[in-house]
Structures are given as C-alpha cells and as structure tokens.
Structure 1
C-alpha cells in the first residue's frame, strides 16, 4: 500500500524528446489565417446564397399555391406553366421581338437623359447663377409624375416612337440630375483646395477630382433612372404600341392568355435585373480608385 502511495506521489518525468513541441508563432499565425479565410469564404458564400434561397422559396410558393388551392390557378398559374408559355414565346420569336422593341426605346431615352442630365447637374451644382436661373423650372417639373404627362406627350408627339422615347427621357432625367447635383455639392472641400493648391485649372479639377468623387452619387441616380425608364416605358406601351413588353402583357391579358401575361412580367424583371447588374459593374470599375485608396 505504501509503495502504491509513493508511486502516486512521485513526480511525473518526461524523457527528452517525448513531449509535443510547443506551437511556434508561425504555426499559430498559419492556423489563424486559415480560420480567417474559411470564415471569409463562408460569409461570401452566404451572401451569394441568401438571395438565391429567398427567390427559390418564392418560386416554390408560386408553384405550390395554385396546385393546392391557395389561389385560383386560372388567375395565377403555376410557375412551370408560366415557364412553358415563356419558352413558347421564345420559340416563336415573339419574346425577342417585344424585348428588342422595349430595349431600343428604353436605351435611347436613357442615353439622351444621361448625356443631358450630368452636364446640367454639374453646372447647377458648381455655378450659382445657373442654379438660381434653372431651379424654379426644375422644381416645377420634377414634382410632376411622368405618367401624368403621358397624354400630353401623345397629343404633342403622337402615338409613335417619339412620344415613348420622350417620356423615357423625362422620367430618367431628374433622378440623374438631382443625384449629380448632390454628388458634386458634397465633394470634400479639402480635396478641391488641395487640387487648387497643386495648380489644377478648372477643367482638370472637374475631370480628375470633382467628377470621380461624385461618381457614387451619380450612379445612384443612374440606377434609379434605369428602373424608371423601364417602368414608364412599359406603361406607355400598354396605351399605344404594336410591339414591346407592355404591349405583350396587355394583349395577353385581353386575350385571356394568362401564362403569357406572367411570362411578359417575368421578362420585365429579368431585363431590369440585367440592366441594374451592368450599371453596378460599371460603377465598380469607375470607382476602383476609391477601394484602392481605402486599402
């Protein structure tokens, strides 16, 4: 018994080389880097999957709700039925015809509004006499909804392409204009003073300092204008047109082709998402210097 107690109380001895080597700073740093990279990858993956999960749940509900009687399948057919109708429109060439007609009108009006609104916004933001002269006119029209002026455009310009493009220009002009004014006026004064102290003349000052700093605000207006151009155009096409997504939706509804109507609505959503994605990519490319400066 005493020998057992002596063995239990005797200190434990490790032979040289049998103990595990302590973790070195390099190994600890490598493990921390791996954990950090894994967390970053998981976060990015979740950011990508989260909207996809929400959309997938919505589509599942759309598919199941008409089949189980939650909604009337006559007025809201299952999503697969809508997909079949869209595929039929694509095979017949009707979808391409309507999408190209809407895109040509929307892009033409949007481009005109962009070319006109950015210089006017810069002039209003930078030169007080221009702002004082144009502000009453702009305040009057920017609070008037574009669709409220649709009859006026039709009466003056007719029911052809000109009135639709002009309506898109009107709807797209003011979001770009107002955000350009806000972006130029909120440029950091220290940036401007530093550029002036370095000898920048007015033109290089605008090109190299003011406009790059105002790019995020301008692109916010551009994205708002892009969505407005599509929505306003669809409404105009529902009133008087022979081609376009708005005409497709109205024609399908009047002929009680409900799946084709929903296919046109889905096509509008996809066009809008594509348009917005291209603008976001362009914004990131033009704002790359801001990311580099932050790092």
Structure 2
C-alpha cells in the first residue's frame, strides 16, 4: 500500500484480498447454514413427492404462507407478545432469586450443609411433572404459568452459581488473602468475577428452559400465547398454522440464546484478554 499525493493505492495482492473478502464471508455463511438449507429443502420436497403425507406435514412454502397470514392479521404478534411477557417475567424473577441464593449457598458453608439435601430432592423433580400442582394451587391464570417458568429456570441458574463459587481456583483465593483482602472484598474482587462464566452457563440453560416449559404451560387454560396457538391449531386441524407456531417459538428461543451469548461476552471480556 502506498500514499502518493494524498491518495491511497493498493498493490495487486491487497486488491485481490479486498475483492475476495465478500466471497469468503458468503462461503462461511453458507457453511454455517448448510444443514438448515438441506432440512428446509427436504421439508419442501418430501411432501410434494409423496414421501410423507402433506396433510400432516405440508411443504415448507405453505407453512411460510400460513405464518405470513398470521402475521398480517396481527394474530401471531398477539400470541408472540403474550409468550414473550410470560417467559421474560419468569426468567427475570428466577435470576433475581437464584443468583443471590446460589452465591450465598456456594460461599457460606453452614447454609450449604442445611440446604443441600433439600436442593437434591427438588433438582431431580421435573418442572412439567409439577405443572398440575401449580395449576391446582395457583389456578389456570397467569400466576401459575409464570410460577412454573420461575421454577424451571431457577434450578440451572442456582446449581451453576453454587458450582461456580465452589470451584474457584484455590490459588486465586490464597493469593488474594495474602494481599490482605477482607472477606467482602475477596468475594467482590475474586469469587464473583471468577464464577461469572459458570453462572452464565446456567443462565443460558435457563433461557432454553423458559421456552420449553412455556409451551406446556400455555396449553393449559391459556387464551393467548404460542403454546396456545400450536395446541389450538392442532385440535382444529390447521396444520400449517401449527407448524408456523412451532417455527415462531423456535425463533424466540434463538433470540433468547443470541441475547444471552452477547451478554456473556460483555461480562466476560477478561477471558478474551487472558487468552491474548
């Protein structure tokens, strides 16, 4: 590269790199989504060729048309909004409850000894198995749906937070203590930052749980939501609408995960610095 008379010129090799850059990006993008393209192609072709009954699995293009009609009518947005509110509310409440409790249990040994037997009992009880209990106690309204999401999300966050605190490198703790840090400062400066990656693993698992449990919760006594849409479409044999709801809730899960990955990268920038 040369700067002559205020203009920048590229040599032949650099020019080739600049030209090839978009093609490299497209190639990388195609590799990333190749499996999805193949799945959608099979989904489109198999019903049309009679490999599967299109009554039960319509071509992907028909599902897209049904999705677009639901979007234009405003029905899809109302269901999406209801599901997003429930999942976000339950997810955020579980964060506010599980992270502080996990930090306490992981750091304070007497509390851990008291609560561990109880935690072991409930961690092995599936959230969906307790759905009828939540409905009986809290009714079929919003409270029971949000409560079951809180329950499902709390366990991965709680257990990963406890694990993150308990498995901080002992050498880091000894080094910090040798520098005269108080217990509070030790927790703030060493324990908490070191346990953040493990905590975010639990948060991402909880994000997936909030979507999975949401679908089942909305199939019981709901009048709106993507789970309700899927269930209603199935009972009324609106198969394309059912698949449109399934695709939308998958997109919601991807959006959740993408957001959490970005947040994790923001809060764990020190890991990238260490790797340099």
| TM-score (normalised: structure 2) | 0.90
Alignment partner, residue 98 of structure 2: 117
Matched, 1:204 2:185: yes
Alignment partner, residue 175 of structure 1: 156
Alignment partner, residue 140 of structure 2: 159
Q: 1:47 & 1:180 partners in 2: Cα distance? A: 35
Alignment partner, residue 271 of structure 2: 290
Q: 1:131 & 1:87 partners in 2: Cα distance? A: 52
Query: What secondary structure does 1:238 align onto?
Result: coil
Alignment partner, residue 246 of structure 1: 227
Q: 2:25 & 2:63 partners in 1: Cα distance? A: 32
Deviations 1:1-58 (A, max 9, x none): xxxxxxxxxxxxxxxxxxxxxxxxxxxxxxxx9xxxxxx9999876543231110111
Q: 1:260 & 1:115 partners in 2: Cα distance? A: 36
Q: 1:207 & 1:272 partners in 2: Cα distance? A: 32
**Higher mean C-alpha displacement, 116-125 vs 243-252:** 116-125
Say if 1:294 and 1:43 are closer, same or farther in 2 by CA, change over 3 A.
Answer: farther
Matched, 1:260 2:237: no
Matched, 1:102 2:83: yes
Say if 1:168 and 1:44 are closer, same or farther in 2 by CA, change over 3 A.
Answer: same
Q: 2:127 & 2:99 partners in 1: Cα distance? A: 19
In the TM superposition, residue 169 of structure 1 has moved relative to its aligned partner by: 0.5
Alignment partner, residue 224 of structure 1: 205
Alignment partner, residue 35 of structure 2: 54
**Higher mean C-alpha displacement, 276-285 vs 47-56:** 47-56
Q: Where does 1:66-77 land on structure 2 (aligned, <5 Å)? A: 66-77=47-58
User: Highest CA radius of gyration, 1 or 2?
Assistant: 1
Say if 1:115 and 1:234 are closer, same or farther in 2 by CA, change over 3 A.
Answer: same
Q: 2:155 & 2:52 partners in 1: Cα distance? A: 40
Deviations 1:40-79 (A, max 9, x none): 9999876543231110111011000100011011100000
2:194 is aligned, of 206, 213, 229, to 213
In the TM superposition, residue 200 of structure 1 has moved relative to its aligned partner by: 2.3
Matched, 1:147 2:128: yes
Q: 1:59 & 1:168 partners in 2: Cα distance? A: 31
Alignment partner, residue 111 of structure 2: 130
Q: 1:163 & 1:294 partners in 2: Cα distance? A: 45
Query: What secondary structure does 1:86 align onto?
Result: helix
In the TM superposition, residue 91 of structure 1 has moved relative to its aligned partner by: 0.4
| TM-score (normalised: structure 1) | 0.84
Query: What secondary structure does 1:74 align onto?
Result: coil
